[in-house]
Structure 1
């Protein structure tokens, strides 16, 4: 099964239909000529070529979407970190200013009290005991001065470090923003190219695609009693309450539109759907399909249970949620809706249990 067939069918519906009237100059119906046979062969080849091209473009767009998701997630994290550092720098500067003020007051007091040599002051004073008491106080002030100076130096060092880190994070944030824009442009270009190919199909080719899509959907969905449903979430195995909750959330999303870069609650891309469903169950999973390929415990496909994440292709560019009965729920591609499909609709890379 290719991801293209439904997209071709959907695009065919959206495109304008051919005129209903017959061509007055058309030849009477009869056995197909060799020219007609060659034309049919060319049309079949054209449709097949279009399918391969759009499948490839959708795959590339999905891969770029996951890169976009990763870069955007990194950008959001960096922005949060920069805000934290800016707050720390502000508090650190305030602390440095306070310490400087305290040290200035101590320095002034020490200068006013310590302008004369202590031994001479002791000889001249009429109250030696009182002088010794004052001298001890000055010693304590000196010790406090030293401690405050040490605290100031420490605060200044921390402030410099946090300013340096903040500056570095700002540079990294700008790079990440550029990466987000680059991947967004790549996704947009791939989808535009796919639309161009779809718009180039003839009405006969669109009709052929619709017939093929109906046949494929019937074959993929199997017999009515094999359809997954609320009662069949766990199937023949017992799953955790959280896995069951994640499956229920995914089922609630069936029929929602695919939208790249979205993670619910009204539209999803592939990894956005699975992340949203598991989040509804109280479990955090990574944002991208590549990240989800490394999440939790890896299990064989033969041991898949409802709630497991099924990752597809060698580059882990697509992911769905296994729901039992040999089915997954996934957000397929632009122009399609969240739906059920066979677990082996494309090459499985891994199965992971969060």
Structure 2
């Protein structure tokens, strides 16, 4: 009886320890070695820097590499979030297993006590003893106690059966969650390899540029962003914008803008570094509003609003795959964490292709 309890408690402790190892953000796993290149990767070799090259083509190639890294980062963050949830569920199941086993042991102790009590009576049924009684009232009272005892025994056996079934269910659920957690660990490792591959290719391409070429490339980036922003402003968008913000929206903007200058790091949520959605999600957490972790989840789950109706604190989702996000701060600007090598900064809200706008805080602004 005690062996079963010890075994389940040991298993539950092992569950918690395993979850801690699998879910740890900094856990290192063995390098699975090189994997065959996909068709897309093979079809897009990394260009090398050569004298007289077209820097505009280099700029576009770098944009593509960093965008691919951003998309993989969103994938990594989503898997990480699922793994955290599954880890918490496994820990909860482990606790239920321990509690259930303790309950079952208590029920078994009670059943054993009842059996020992019957043994001490010499094996004579209580009904026979009552028939030998000279007092009819004692007989009726005894009959009532027998009925109650039978019901109690039946209830005890039923509770033992249900508890055993619960333990079996908890064990099966924990096993299923472990399988999901392991699958997510593999998906996380795959996403991490994608990120590192794209960033390494971009860094290699940039490292092969001469200093004068790097300066020209930076100028081309600024010019491209300025053209996009000018075209966006030229559409007259600011004329119809509602610039009022809620109290939470102001707090979120204050947090996000206070991070300007801090480095970009994929998968980071602060306080020392951020990726794009890490910045926006933490800004809203600081304002007392929890929102989804990734830019794609923010696009899917938050309320969408027309660009003409956006206000400070709203999130602008960029690119067709929703792989980037920035926070609108007013006057046609966003604060965002751009990419590796670029710190948190302000930029024109229209400097990148806008997919749409979402609103974490649905409370009406004072001006509304």
Q: Which residue of 2 aligns with 1:200?
A: 208
Total equivalences in the alignment = 301
Q: Distance in 2 between the 1:137 and 1:206 partners?
A: 93
Question: Does residue 1:170 correspond to 2:168, yes or no?
Answer: no
Question: Does residue 1:115 correspond to 2:158, yes or no?
Answer: no
Q: CA deviation at 1:133?
A: 5.3
Q: CA deviation at 1:301?
A: 1.3
**What is the 5 A alignment of 1:216-227?**
none
Question: Does residue 1:185 correspond to 2:193, yes or no?
Answer: yes
Q: Which residue of 1 aligns with 2:108?
A: 100
Cα deviations by residue, 1:150-170 (Å, 9 ceiling, x for unpaired): 111111111111111111111
The TM-score with structure 2 as length reference comes to 0.75
Give the structure, 1 or 2, with the largest relative contact order (CA under 8 Å, sep 6 or more): 1
The one of 66, 70, 73 equivalent to 1:65 is 73
Cα deviations by residue, 1:103-130 (Å, 9 ceiling, x for unpaired): 1211332354483466765676777876
Cα deviations by residue, 1:7-57 (Å, 9 ceiling, x for unpaired): xxxxxxxxxxxxxxxxxxxxxxxxxxxxxxxxxxx8554322322221111
Question: Does residue 1:142 correspond to 2:179, yes or no?
Answer: no
Structure 1, unmatched stretches of 5+, are 1-41, 223-234
Change (3 A) 1:344 1:114: farther
Q: Which residue of 1 aligns with 2:24?
A: none
Question: Does residue 1:242 correspond to 2:248, yes or no?
Answer: yes
Question: Does residue 1:255 correspond to 2:249, yes or no?
Answer: no
The TM-score with structure 1 as length reference comes to 0.77
Cα RMSD (Å) of the superposition?
A: 2.6
Q: Distance in 2 between the 1:168 and 1:117 partners?
A: 48
Q: Distance in 2 between the 1:100 and 1:317 partners?
A: 57
The one of 286, 310, 331 equivalent to 1:304 is 310
- Contact 1:71–1:180, Cα closer than 8 Å, also in 2: yes
Structure 2, unmatched stretches of 5+, are 1-49, 231-240, 361-368
- Pick the structure with greater CA Rg: 1
SS across alignment from 2:267: coil
The one of 217, 223, 227 equivalent to 1:209 is 217
- Contact 2:242–2:310, Cα closer than 8 Å, also in 1: no
Q: CA deviation at 1:212?
A: 3.6
**What is the 5 A alignment of 1:27-106?**
43=51, 45-106=53-114
